[in-house]
Structure formats: structure tokens, C-alpha cells
Structure 1
């Protein structure tokens, strides 16, 4: 069946991650994107001129983005219960889609609209996308009751797994068989409201610091997400309430109006946490220092270079060279390239069986992990026994430290001993083809290491003497 759809924009004033909008466009010949200027809100809610301005700009931006899809936004005036019966008949609508809204007035309003749609034979599709999780599902999982503590909520969310990933914005392909009928006088009947229509004086608005709309939201998100170190080390208590410029992102207005999808925000943060991070605090602390300060000790350079290449991740030294070339204050092209070839054992250095441990190497000079605590402050409450290997800490200890491994900080990206063993075999095979003598030396070296691991620990002189005496007596 080919539908004539209305998509009802309310809070989700965006194209990206709008599953209800995509549902409206499926198997559709005509689609009408609408926003209803409901008189209930100005009568029952206190709305400043600044917030009206933000809404108007968000609607204008949405209309401009719809134009790129050969569509338009229809701003309709009136109560939804009065508007929809008229629109259902006028446009011969067969389907209505909108995002789930959990607020009290919205629930009552939407229930009334669903009843009206049913009376007019209109299919209704509602999609969850304003919240990370379906709130009704959470209540069901909690035996029909709302969780009363944040800890209980976190427990429920852990059992549900991560939020759904955001869906892509609609494209011209989505609308290839679907059009939006727009008349020449569209602006007269369905145009964006003016300040005068809203009863607002634009001269009373404050400084124009935070323009409304999805375009501004995504630009602002990208701007802050580029500051990976700042994001990874962000702690709300460390921000200032009276700084001359905001010490946080000021993305909350965009999330409130749905110009920015909360799921897009969540997954973007997750990508950064998991991608600037390896799960090995020593390695991550080194890279954090490099990104923020532009310098790291030469042995720290060795540790991360070995980890990236032959030690653990088996990634080309050329990728590491690019990162150092960008971030190091003392970056020198020839030295940088030469050192990366050396540390990866691609050239100059052939003892590839000597691998830096991402755990043991740092412990040699910093047993208590003060370096890690400085550059990864969210791990500072872990005791020294676990600071280099926080994934080994009991769950109760992780909770006391305020950092759950696998959630607030990733688990190790690889198991070092397994990766080391696997990569040694790869290196041996590579050297066997190019340098048989070196490969044989490596085989002898690793064989001795294996034998030493199986051999009992050497006894002290006193223990040896005691054994001799016992032998003679027997």
C-alpha cells in the first residue's frame, strides 16, 4: 500500500536520527512534515523571548534542511485535536508518525490524537528517539515500578545493554518516489512564525550566542568532539560556574529541543572514549600527555611505538609516524621516520623479541602509578595494585573508585601476552623470508625464555646447602 503520511515534529527538530521521520517516508507517495504551534504552551508554560527565538531558529533551520530534500516544513496553528481531523481530510492522510514524548501533557495529548487517527482510519507509528532508552521498557524491567535511585537505574540500564545506534538522516533516495506538495503561497499559511505573531519583542532578546537548529547543534558537537583529551578527562566538578565563557559544551538546549539526538551524542562520546583509549592505563596516559602537552619521554615513545606495531596492535609504523609528526613539539621528519622503523623492527633494529610490556614497563619507575593518576584522573581512586591493570579490580572496588571497566573506561583492546605471542610468530615468519640468521637467533631466544619459565626458580645458597646435607643424611 502506498501511503500519504504526516510526520509531526515536536521535540525532534532534526533530520538525523529521526526514525519516525524515516517511517513516514517508507512506501509513501506524499509526505507532509508539520509542526503544530499549540496555544497550550504559551498559556500554561513560562517561555522567555530567548527560548522563543531558539525555537523559531530551529524551525527555520529544519525548513532549510527539508528544502534540500525537495520538501518543506508546514507550521500549523491550533490545538492538535482540532488540527488533525482537518488535515486528515484535506490531505487524505493514511499514516501519522511522531516521536514518543514522555511528559504528562504530551502523553495526554498524544493519546487523544491516536484516538482521532483511529477514527479516521489513519495508521499511527510512534518511535523512541528523544531518550536513550524506552522509559516504559525500564519500568517493565523494574517490575512495573519506576526506579527510585540512580544506582538502581544504572543497574537496569546495564542489563539492557547500550542504547540503540542513531539512524541516518533521510536522503533524496528515501524520497525518490515520495513528494511534498507545496503551493506558491506556502509561507502565507504554513510559514515560520514571526516574533510579532508570538507576541514577543525581539529587542528584548539577549546576546545571540546560541543559534537554534540542527546545523548549529552538529557544528557545535563536532567542535567539542575534536578536543579528545578534554572530552576524555572531563569532570563536571572541575568546571567553573562563573567562567567568562562557558566551561562546558552548552549542548543542552539542542538536546532539549531535539536539534541534537541524545543517541548521537552518546555514541559520539563512546567512540572517543573507546578510540583515544586502549584499556592499558600506561599507554593511554602517555598518549594523553602527548596530545595535551606535545612532549613525552623517549622511553614513553618507545613503549607506545612498540605497542602500536609489533608488540600488540600490529599496525603499520607509518600510522604512528603520522600521529607523532602532528603532535610532537620536537617532531623531526627524519628522526621520526627512523625511530618508528627502529621500534617496529622494520629496519635498523632486529631484536624483535624484545617487547615492551604495557603493564610491567611503567611499574619499574612508577610503582604507584602517579603518572597515570595525573593524566587519567578518573582512575586515581584505584589502589596501586590495580592502577596498571584496572580490569582485574573487583567490581565493588571499581564502583568505589567511580570507574566501571567496560563502561567508564574500556577493557584492554588486546590481551597483551596473547598478542605478543601471535606477533612474535608473525615477525619470525617475516624475518625467515628476509633474514634467516636473525630468525634463527629469535627462535633460540624465545626457546630459552620458554625453558626459563618452566624451570623452577633458582634456590638461595642456604637452600642449596640444606639440600646437600639432607642428601648426605639420607
Structure 2
């Protein structure tokens, strides 16, 4: 019996049904051609072992499970392929007689490199490919073209480029897939959505604070958008980096995985702001969304955007190397309770407030430890639920004063900054429980507590809690001098390279 040809939609960072134009294209093509539709996601076990932390893996698998449930409502299902996309997809092109492939456009080099290989194979096999921009509000390549191919190096310059671009309305998929386009159930064997215990022991994980998936994403979006006044008055600097419950939306993990359409978020924000006085970019919620677009545009235009060397937008700084300090920072053992509480929250829950990220990133790099932002970016890649290639690199360059932000003399204090929004140290008491009985006067600086107080609190610094690995008051001044020297050296280097008129 002759096999029925197939149409594939390849899910990557678009783990949703709503506003998924590439998926709708695949469904329409399958219906028009009377082909089978197969929706696939490729999961590489090797990448999971080396690049994705346990919280992000759990979030991903929950998102895939929810995606499968939502696809079944459309009379379809999700095929999860285990292995490398560049090896497994070509095999399936033959096995399933694929004639048409849809997917999304992305700028992450890993996906770009995959696309080059897959597109070459598809061309050889006469498979037609459609790629859609659906992970950003704007087509970042069009924004770069509008700027004559140059990277906008400031947020304001970026806003000037996109201010007159009309954002299309979101699309919906309303029709169920016809039975004659549904792949046989027996074909799914071996391609089911994996369970978490296939990769790790789930019992070792903390309870799930932010469950993955499109259903949860839409629920969270509608909950916050219903608070019109809150949306209009939102200003990021006025939110708290150390509140026990998040003072922001925590929609970022859903956007980064594509469980929530960033375009839908954009339109919902526009609706909430319409007809009302509201905060403005960069501090508004819309402003936060535009930061994401800014970094995506920069990432699309800059070579080696996630590295210092060979990155045209990044200042070259002679960072030091100290594996012990890096490990202490990553594990929340620096001896600075506010820094340690943030890093422990990150490791436990997979999310920390944006201003908390500012604190720990500054501490690792130019503020205290003088360790390269690339090392911090790797740790965030492992732990963050909302890890995003372009945002991760862009924010780390900003916070280390390597690009986009150059006021390196503005350093966060690991003591004073946290006190602004949590004088009692409740955040520290939750995430650094060994210090929970410390008096408020010493909760941010336990090394200052008299020995009798430490004994009474049940935790002696240097035994139950580590001593400070650096003296902030002294080291941040030394690091400022190093930054000043690095800036001078970069300026001189550019002056030498500049052609004489």
C-alpha cells in the first residue's frame, strides 16, 4: 500500500496553538494536499545533560505535555523526537514522505546552524519550507535593514526604528484537523512526550512554582491584564527584587519557551493602556517587552553576541579567573546574605526578579569578583526558566558595563540595595535559613554581629555560614580602577584603528 505523504510543523520556541501562523500554514497545506499532518518537537538528550538545568527541563516537559493536550483538541498530537535535529529529521523526511515543512525564524546560532543543514537536505529532497517570524513582535532583520544594517546601540535608537511599524493581529486556529489528515495512532509509538523521570529523579526537585505550558501562560496573562490600573501604573524600578511573592508578572518563562505569543502580550498591553494615563518605556510593561526586542535585534546583527572576543559591540575587558569564587557565587555561598539568597532562589525556583539579576551580575563581574560575564551567563543558562539566548547575553553585557551601559562606577551594594525594599530581611530569612534567627541589625551583615549574638542565633560565621569571600567596600573601588583602565585601553585601540582623514 502506498504511504500518504506528510506535512510537518517543527515546534521549537513556539510551544503553543494560539497565534502560531506556521502551524496554521501546516494544517492548511495538509488539508489542501490531503496529506497527513505531523507536529514534531526534537529533544536532544545530550543538550539536556549539559545545558538545561532541572527546573528548566521540568518546565519544558510540562509545556510539551500541555502542547500535546491542546493539539489533541485539534484532532492531532505531538511527536517528540529524541536525538539531534540535523540527524533525525532527514530520516523522518524519508520515513514519512514529507513534502512540506513549517517552522519559525530564530536568531540563536544553534537554531540558525540547524536551519542551514535542514534546508540543504530539504532542497535535495524537494521539500518546501515555510518559516514564520513568531518569537518576536517585530521582524528583527527588517529592523536592522531599516537602520542600514547597523545595530542600534541604544534603547532609544531602537524605539525610533520601530515606532511606526504596524504589528499584525494575532491569528487563531479554530478548525479541527480532518480525520483523513490525522496520522495513524500506531505511528506515535516511540515518539510520546517523555516523562521527567526519564532524565532525572523528580523527587529531588522543589515543588513547582511556575508550571509550564500554554494553558498556564494564557491564564497568567489574563489574570494580570485584568488589572488595568496595575498595568498602567507599572514601573519596573518601583517593584521589589526581594519580595517573597513576585512583584512582576513572571510571564517571561512562558514567552521564552513560546508558550505565550509575545505579539498577543503586546496587543493586550495596548488594550490595557488605551484611553488611560500610563507609564512609559523603558520602565513600563511595554517598555520591558521592548527591551526584549532591542536585545533580539542586537543579537541578530552582532557576530559572537554571546561572547566577548570577536563581538563588535562588546568592550574587551581583562577579566580574572577564580573557580572557587565562581562556584561560591553560583551556589549562594559568598558570605553576603542578599547575594546568596538571590542565587539560592534562582537555583530552587528557576526565576529571580530582574533587579535581583542586576545585583548578582554586578557582584560577579565589575562590582566584586571580577569574573567574566560569560561565566555568569552560563550559570543563568542552566538555572533560569526564562533563559533566552539574546536576552541573557545582552543583559550580562549591560550589567558588566561591557556594552549598552557604560556607567561602570554605579555599583550595587550587596548590603544597602536589598535594605531598600526589605529592611527586616524576610527574603534572606527564607532563602538563607541558617540566618533566620539573626537580629535585623545584622541580617545583611552577619560578620558584624558579636560572637554572643551569633551563638544565640545558632549560626557562627565561618562555621554555619561562610565568611565573606571579598570585602565589598575595598574591592569594588579597586575594580572601578580596573574598569577605567580597560575603557582607556579600548578607546586607545579604537583610535589607532581609526583611519586618518
User: TM-score range with shorter-chain normalisation?
Assistant: 0.5 to 0.7
Question: Hey, what's the Cα distance between the residues in 1 that align with 2:180 and 2:147?
Answer: 42
What corresponds to 2:496 in structure 1?
none
- Kindly provide the CA deviation profile for residues 324-347 of structure 1, in whole angstroms up to 9, marking residues without a partner as x: xxxxxxxxxxxxxxxxxxxxxxxx
What corresponds to 1:100 in structure 2?
105
Question: Hey, what's the Cα distance between the residues in 2 that align with 1:147 and 1:225?
Answer: 30
What corresponds to 2:39 in structure 1?
33
The 5-angstrom pairing of residues 131-150 of structure 1 reads 131-150=136-155
Question: Hey, what's the Cα distance between the residues in 1 that align with 2:98 and 2:157?
Answer: 43
What is the CA-CA distance between 1:180 and the residue it aligns to? 2.2
What corresponds to 2:12 in structure 1?
10
Gaps of 5+ in 1: 280-474
Contact 2:90/2:118 (8 A) holds in 1:
no
Contact 2:75/2:178 (8 A) holds in 1:
no
Contact 2:10/2:101 (8 A) holds in 1:
yes
Going from structure 1 to structure 2, the CA distance change for 1:247 and 1:270 (only over 3 Å counts) comes to same
Q: Which runs of 4+ in 1 moved over 6 A?
A: none
Question: Hey, what's the Cα distance between the residues in 2 that align with 1:247 and 1:10?
Answer: 29
**2:144 alignment partner, SS class:** helix
Going from structure 1 to structure 2, the CA distance change for 1:278 and 1:230 (only over 3 Å counts) comes to closer
- Kindly provide the CA deviation profile for residues 161-220 of structure 1, in whole angstroms up to 9, marking residues without a partner as x: 232221113432xx237622132473x40111122322x221222221111000000001
What corresponds to 2:306 in structure 1?
none
Contact 1:100/1:129 (8 A) holds in 2:
yes
- Kindly provide the CA deviation profile for residues 132-170 of structure 1, in whole angstroms up to 9, marking residues without a partner as x: 1111111111111221111111111114x2322211134
Question: Hey, what's the Cα distance between the residues in 2 that align with 1:177 and 1:8?
Answer: 21
Aligned counterpart in structure 2 of residue 80 of structure 1, from 82, 85, 91: 85
What corresponds to 2:317 in structure 1?
none
- Kindly provide the CA deviation profile for residues 269-319 of structure 1, in whole angstroms up to 9, marking residues without a partner as x: 10111155699xxxxxxxxxxxxxxxxxxxxxxxxxxxxxxxxxxxxxxxx
Going from structure 1 to structure 2, the CA distance change for 1:178 and 1:166 (only over 3 Å counts) comes to farther
- Kindly provide the CA deviation profile for residues 209-265 of structure 1, in whole angstroms up to 9, marking residues without a partner as x: 111000000001111111111011111111111111111111100001000000000
Question: Hey, what's the Cα distance between the residues in 2 that align with 1:143 and 1:40?
Answer: 39
Question: Hey, what's the Cα distance between the residues in 1 that align with 2:86 and 2:212?
Answer: 28
Question: Hey, what's the Cα distance between the residues in 2 that align with 1:10 and 1:62?
Answer: 12
The 5-angstrom pairing of residues 234-249 of structure 1 reads 234-249=234-249
- Kindly provide the CA deviation profile for residues 334-388 of structure 1, in whole angstroms up to 9, marking residues without a partner as x: xxxxxxxxxxxxxxxxxxxxxxxxxxxxxxxxxxxxxxxxxxxxxxxxxxxxxxx
Residue 62 of structure 1 pairs with residue 64 of structure 2: no
**1:27 alignment partner, SS class:** helix
Contact 2:19/2:172 (8 A) holds in 1:
yes
The 5-angstrom pairing of residues 289-328 of structure 1 reads none
What corresponds to 2:57 in structure 1?
52
Aligned counterpart in structure 2 of residue 166 of structure 1, from 166, 170, 173: 170
- Kindly provide the CA deviation profile for residues 425-466 of structure 1, in whole angstroms up to 9, marking residues without a partner as x: xxxxxxxxxxxxxxxxxxxxxxxxxxxxxxxxxxxxxxxxxx
**1:189 alignment partner, SS class:** coil
Question: Hey, what's the Cα distance between the residues in 2 that align with 1:184 and 1:116?
Answer: 27
Question: Hey, what's the Cα distance between the residues in 1 that align with 2:169 and 2:91?
Answer: 36
Question: Hey, what's the Cα distance between the residues in 2 that align with 1:40 and 1:119?
Answer: 28
Contact 1:25/1:178 (8 A) holds in 2:
no
What corresponds to 1:353 in structure 2?
none
Higher Cα Rg: structure 1 or 2?
1
Residue 24 of structure 1 pairs with residue 26 of structure 2: yes
Going from structure 1 to structure 2, the CA distance change for 1:72 and 1:253 (only over 3 Å counts) comes to same
Contact 1:132/1:164 (8 A) holds in 2:
no
What corresponds to 1:282 in structure 2?
none
The 5-angstrom pairing of residues 354-365 of structure 1 reads none
Question: Hey, what's the Cα distance between the residues in 2 that align with 1:57 and 1:233?
Answer: 33
Contact 2:101/2:130 (8 A) holds in 1:
yes
The 5-angstrom pairing of residues 253-332 of structure 1 reads 253-276=253-276
Question: Hey, what's the Cα distance between the residues in 1 that align with 2:191 and 2:10?
Answer: 14
**2:242 alignment partner, SS class:** coil
What is the CA-CA distance between 1:17 and the residue it aligns to? 0.6
Question: Hey, what's the Cα distance between the residues in 2 that align with 1:183 and 1:32?
Answer: 11
Contact 2:67/2:213 (8 A) holds in 1:
yes
What corresponds to 1:224 in structure 2?
224
Question: Hey, what's the Cα distance between the residues in 2 that align with 1:78 and 1:260?
Answer: 26
Question: Hey, what's the Cα distance between the residues in 2 that align with 1:94 and 1:178?
Answer: 17
Contact 1:3/1:27 (8 A) holds in 2:
no
Going from structure 1 to structure 2, the CA distance change for 1:113 and 1:40 (only over 3 Å counts) comes to farther
Please give the root-mean-square deviation of Cα atoms over the aligned residues, in Å.
2.0
Residue 121 of structure 1 pairs with residue 123 of structure 2: no
What is the CA-CA distance between 1:44 and the residue it aligns to? 4.9
What corresponds to 2:385 in structure 1?
none
How many residues are aligned here?
A: 272
Going from structure 1 to structure 2, the CA distance change for 1:83 and 1:185 (only over 3 Å counts) comes to closer
Going from structure 1 to structure 2, the CA distance change for 1:275 and 1:177 (only over 3 Å counts) comes to farther
Contact 1:57/1:211 (8 A) holds in 2:
yes
**1:131 alignment partner, SS class:** coil
Question: Hey, what's the Cα distance between the residues in 1 that align with 2:183 and 2:273?
Answer: 45
